[in-house]
Amino acid sequence: MPVQTNRYLPFLMWLFPLSFFCYQFVLRLWPGLMMHQMMEQFSLDASHFGLFAAFYYYGYAGMQIPVAILLDRFSARYCVFAFAVLCGLATLMFTYTDNFIIAVFSRFLIGAGSAIGFLGVSKVVSEWFAKDHYARMIGFSFTIGLMGAIYGGKPVGLLIETYRWQNVALTLAVTSIMIGFGSYVVLRSPKNGENIRSESSFKMANFSAVFSSRILWMLALSNMLMVGSLEGFADVWGVPYLMTAYDLKKEDAAGLISFVFIGMLFGGPMLAYLSKKIGNYRVIFGCGFGMALAFTVLLLSQPFNGWYLSVLLFCVGLMCCYQVIIFSAGSELVAPQYLGVTIAFLNCINMLGGSFFHTAIGKIMDVFWTGLVTEEGLRQYTLTVYQTALSIIPASALVGAFLVYWVGRCAGRHQDTH
């Protein structure tokens, strides 16, 4: 059916990948809400818990480019269906296993399945909406998608406290499978979809051009180093840290963490405006330096003040949106035919930052563990241990900020010679 015959049809098509994009944020935040239950179920220390959390990002990052290729070869209908069902089955696998290796593998599969989230939305928007509406629809998609992160915190935390976590996990698994089958039944490509695929097909020359660019690698590395506030803290370690630092209930700690994602709702448009005024690299440098400062203040904050912490976390969320500007900066370093591969590459390295921070934080916590154990015989970590481990986040952000400053200088010289 041509797009023009029904002006609401594009929005119906957009609804299904968008639903999964929202949903995958809930699974991404799941370990932070389940830390103590998981450590008890599998007898884990912080290092092994960090390893478990990291495998989501290995799966997500590793599948960025393969998913982009699959979306190019096949329709979004089949890809969203397959990966949404994969997420649901992997969640079921995790729910009903007592084997840590199987649990880690299921987390990897959940990450791999979640990789379709943003890329699926981007594909459907590019097929069903006019080119001049693409940026606006992607902006709407990010805003709505972040609602999944906001409501994946305190509300899901309350459900876990009220019901058995296995029942909550089962509901999440069934939801993912239902989204997958709904996409298979309803989602279609427009009649001009073949032309769109042929225009945007991935070629090996594109990969070679991107992977051989030293300046792109430096930009990607700086992105990875600055992502700790979001992927290291907000995604997983923030809830247990706030519970330890302020003796909060899980749902209250998750509610505070939600302010990071609320900040991100406003950060995208704000930083995009600033980047037009003062330049991409100055904005990214400012965000990296600002995150390092804000996070240092956060780690030193005592005693508890809900409003103060909410504002501080909101500001961290604003600055986390530097990632949007990273993609813009990367797009200016390559020819138009390399844009798709470049975005997939930058997002891949960005998500590997989650693996790096989760693994590093868990290792540091075990190195500085004071020997305390719970009644169940599990390791108990003091506030000082948390603060020591989480200090890697502002330190890395500062390094990333100065690295992106160097990239900006190189990019300026690169443009002057062309």
For the chain, domain boundaries = 1-201, 203-418
Is the pLDDT confidence value at 39 over 90? no
Say which residues have a Cβ less than 8 Å from residue 107's Cβ, sequence separation at least 6. 31, 52, 53, 55, 56, 59, 90, 94
Fold of 203-418: Growth Hormone; Chain: A; (1.20.1250)
pTM for this model (two decimals)? 0.82
Least confidently predicted of 12-21, 40-49, 206-215, 379-388: 206-215
Identify the pLDDT of residue 413.
62
How far, in Å, are 65, 72, 343 from residue 202 at the CA level? 10, 7, 12
Of 68, 80, 261, the closest CA to residue 155 belongs to 261
Do residues 92 and 170 touch, judged by C-beta distance below 8 A?
A: yes
**pLDDT of res. 3:** 42
Comparing 1-201 with 203-418, is the CATH topology the same? Answer: yes
Q: Is pLDDT of 2 > 50? A: no
> Residue 156: its pLDDT value, please?
80
Q: How many residues does the chain have?
A: 418
Identify the pLDDT of residue 128: 87
Mean pLDDT over 272-292 rounds to: 90
Encode pLDDT of 96-127 as tens digits. 888 999 999 999 999 999 999 888 888 888 88
In this predicted structure, which of 59-68, 201-210, 318-327 has the lowest mean pLDDT? 201-210
Burial 29-50 (b: 16+ CB within 10 A, else e): bbbbbbbbebbeebebbbbbbb
Q: How far is CA 8 from CA 12, 142, 184, 196, in A?
A: 7, 20, 19, 21
Q: Residue 396, exposed/middle/buried by CB under 10 A (0-12, 13-18, 19+)?
A: buried
Query: Residue 193: its pLDDT value, please?
Result: 53
Say what the pLDDT of residue 4 is.
46
Mean pLDDT for 194-204 is: 51
Q: Is the pLDDT of residue 83 over 70?
A: yes
Structural tokens at position 270: 């704000």
Helices (H), 64-164: 64-73, 76-95, 100-114, 116-128, 134-151, 154-162
The CATH code of domain 1-201 reads: 1.20.1250.20
In 3D space, the residue among 113, 80, 112 whose CA is nearest the CA of residue 181 turns out to be: 80
Q: Which helix (H) or strand (E) holds 386?
A: helix 383-390
Q: Identify whether the C-beta of residue 84 lies closer than 8 Å to the C-beta of residue 177.
A: yes
